[in-house]
């Protein structure tokens, strides 16, 4: 697929995505790496644009240069955003209470703390990214599992084989002291993300180094 064709597919994917207004988004593609430029009305739209682009078959990477330009109705003070973020985290069942701290500067939210699982870290970011007034999220939460297992590699490889979205034959797994390294090839960025998610789901994993190459 040529870069010109891929650009058209990305633009169609953005136009098709109902959660964002793609009218002010420009797309360029160079060697299967898509660059997004322009403005969106919220950080949630910026994330949605990146996600939609990564799920286009043939895309190997995304440079997200979109700028969040809040309309008047979406503007909030940093204090308002911080309070809303704390309330949202408190009410979310996936994020343990009193384990995450929030700071907000010019609409950018920074999350700090220590959690047991990557899915909890991801949930915390999702909770705050959709809040009104947020321009960006820096997720600095560290993952330090309380549970240790010796057969992490076997568990991850078994998870890959169970998944309908992952070709386990093309992925190599190495695991030492909670650190997992994934190498090999995948067919799409969506498959790469699914492989990383599956690796993080293994008990005792504290770090995943993704070296997978997207080879359509």
Neighbour-count burial for 37-62, b at 16+ CB within 10 Å, e otherwise: eeebbbbbbbbbbbbbbbebebbbeb
pLDDT, position 40: 95
User: Which fold, 152-214?
Assistant: 3.30.1340
Adjacent-strand bridge partners of 35 = 28, 63
Query: Helix or strand or coil: residue 94?
Result: coil
Q: What pLDDT does residue 177 have?
A: 86
Cα–Cα dist 87/80, whole Å:
11
pLDDT, position 76: 94
Confidence of residue 68 (pLDDT cuts 50, 70, 90): very high
CATH 3.30.1340.30 placement within the chain: 3-69, 74-143, 152-214
Give yes or no for a contact between 141 and 115, defined as CB atoms under 8 angstroms apart.
yes
pLDDT per residue as tens digits for the range 119-170: 999 999 999 999 999 999 999 999 998 877 778 899 999 999 999 899 999 9
CATH code for the domain defined by 74-143? 3.30.1340.30
**CA gap 20, 46 in Å, rounded:** 8
This prediction has a pTM of: 0.84
Class of 3-69 in CATH: alpha beta
Cβ atoms within 10 Å of 168's Cβ, excluding its own:
18
pLDDT digits 0-9 by tens, 29-59: 999 999 999 999 999 999 999 999 999 999 9
């Amino acid at each position: 697929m040529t870069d010109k064709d891929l650009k058209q597919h990305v633009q169609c994917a953005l136009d098709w995505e109902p959660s964002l207004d793609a009218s002010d988004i420009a797309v360029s593609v160079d060697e299967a790496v898509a660059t997004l430029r322009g403005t969106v009305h919220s950080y949630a739209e910026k994330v949605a644009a990146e996600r939609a682009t990564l799920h286009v078959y043939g895309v190997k990477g995304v440079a997200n240069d979109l700028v969040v330009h809040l309309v008047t109705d979406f503007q909030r003070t940093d204090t308002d955003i911080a309070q809303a973020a704390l309330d949202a985290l408190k009410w979310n069942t996936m994020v343990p209470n009193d384990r995450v701290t929030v700071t907000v500067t010019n609409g950018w939210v920074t999350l700090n703390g220590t959690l047991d699982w990557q899915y909890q870290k991801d949930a915390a970011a999702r909770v705050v990214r959709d809040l009104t007034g947020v321009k960006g999220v820096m997720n600095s939460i560290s993952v330090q599992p309380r549970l240790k297992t010796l057969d992490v590699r076997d568990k991850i490889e078994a998870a890959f084989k169970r998944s309908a979205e992952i070709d386990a034959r093309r992925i190599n797994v190495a695991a030492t002291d909670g650190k997992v390294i994934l190498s090999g090839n995948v067919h799409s960025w969506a498959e790469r993300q699914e492989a990383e998610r599956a690796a993080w789901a293994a008990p005792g994993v504290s770090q995943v180094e993704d070296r997978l190459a997207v080879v359509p």
